Amino acid sequence: MFQTSRFLCGATCVYIASGKAKVLKGRYLDVQQDIEYVVSKGAKEIEEHDLYRMKVDFLGGLPNDGGPAGELKLDS
């Protein structure tokens, strides 16, 4: 089923939780990539090339404004 070791997934989570991967905040990373190498490239290169970003674009240039769900107010 899965070809990636669960230990690699765990090690990646530990690396991220340690605070060493802050340049990837809010971004997507496949655990099969060398996270230390990616982080070593720095935020400037990641942002400059728009890497590891998950996004949703709509046909016709429609805005992604969050729709009605974005208007929900949750009690804290």
pLDDT at 70: 54
Give a yes or no: residue 35 inside a domain: yes
Give a yes or no: residue 44 inside a domain: yes
Give a yes or no: residue 37 inside a domain: yes
Cα–Cα distance between 44 and 50 in angstroms, integer? Answer: 10
Angle at 14 between CA 11 and CA 15, to 5 degrees: 85
Give the chain's domain count. Answer: 1
First to last CA, the chain: 40
Domain span including residue 35? 26-54
Asked whether the beta carbons of 30 and 11 are under 8 A apart, the reply is no
Q: Is the whole-model pTM more than 0.75?
A: no
Give a yes or no: residue 59 inside a domain: no
Give a yes or no: residue 12 inside a domain: no
Give a yes or no: residue 50 inside a domain: yes
Q: Grade residue 52 by pLDDT with cuts at 50, 70 and 90.
A: very high
Give a yes or no: residue 32 inside a domain: yes
Task: Specify the higher pLDDT residue, 61 or 33.
Answer: 33
Cα–Cα distance between 49 and 15 in angstroms, integer? Answer: 23
Give a yes or no: residue 1 inside a domain: no
